[in-house]
Amino acid sequence: MSVERIIVKGDIDDYLDFGWEYTEDVRKRGGKGHHYNASVLSRDTSMPHYSEIVRLENEYFYLKGQLREYNSASPLVAIILFLIFIIPGIIYLVVKSNQKTKIEIHNSHIKRKMNDILYKVDEYFD
């Protein structure tokens, strides 16, 4: 009977589904003198369908590594982004509205003068 062993930091529940059995806890040394607790797991390599289990385990943990984590937007960031993009839009709308009003006033003066000219020209043809 051949047994393989691994040391797992963190949650071991996923490993237990692939035939691993909890053996013991160990204290491991990390970087800069930090220590952490880890679990030692073991599995019999002569169990039935061992190679298929290993293949599925590798695929499972590959897919687990592909999962993305959703981080909700911070309210402060949302407000800042809202202000950054809304204020220029509001300014643009105000400027365009003022521009439209000025053009309408200008055009009404021009049209009045044009009508005056047409009135005068009309006098010449009567």
At 46-95, the pLDDT tens digits run 988 898 899 999 999 999 998 877 666 678 877 787 778 887 777 877 88
Residue ending a domain, choose from 35, 66, 97 = 66
What pLDDT is recorded for position 3?
A: 93
> Is there a contact between 54 and 15 (Cβ–Cβ < 8 Å)?
no
* Mean pLDDT for the stretch of residues 97-101: 85
Half-sphere exposure of 89 (CA within 13 A, CB side): 6
The answer to whether residues 60 and 99 belong to one domain is: no
Between CA 81 and CA 87, with CA 86 as vertex, the angle to 5 degrees is: 105
Give the residue among 50, 68, 20 at the shortest CA–CA distance from 11.
20
In this prediction, residue 108 has a pLDDT band, given cuts at 50, 70 and 90, of: confident
What pLDDT is recorded for position 31?
A: 73
Q: Which domain holds residue 25?
A: 3-66
The answer to whether residues 76 and 89 belong to one domain is: yes
The answer to whether residues 52 and 80 belong to one domain is: no
The answer to whether residues 44 and 7 belong to one domain is: yes
What pLDDT is recorded for position 100?
A: 87
Residue ending a domain, choose from 27, 45, 66 = 66
At 20-48, the pLDDT tens digits run 999 998 887 777 777 788 999 999 999 88
What pLDDT is recorded for position 43?
A: 95
The answer to whether residues 75 and 62 belong to one domain is: no
The answer to whether residues 16 and 49 belong to one domain is: yes
- Counting the structural domains of the chain, the total is 2
At residue 51, φ and ψ (nearest 5 deg) are -65, -35
The answer to whether residues 19 and 34 belong to one domain is: yes
The answer to whether residues 29 and 80 belong to one domain is: no
* Mean pLDDT for the stretch of residues 99-103: 87
The answer to whether residues 12 and 54 belong to one domain is: yes
Is residue 98 over pLDDT 90? no
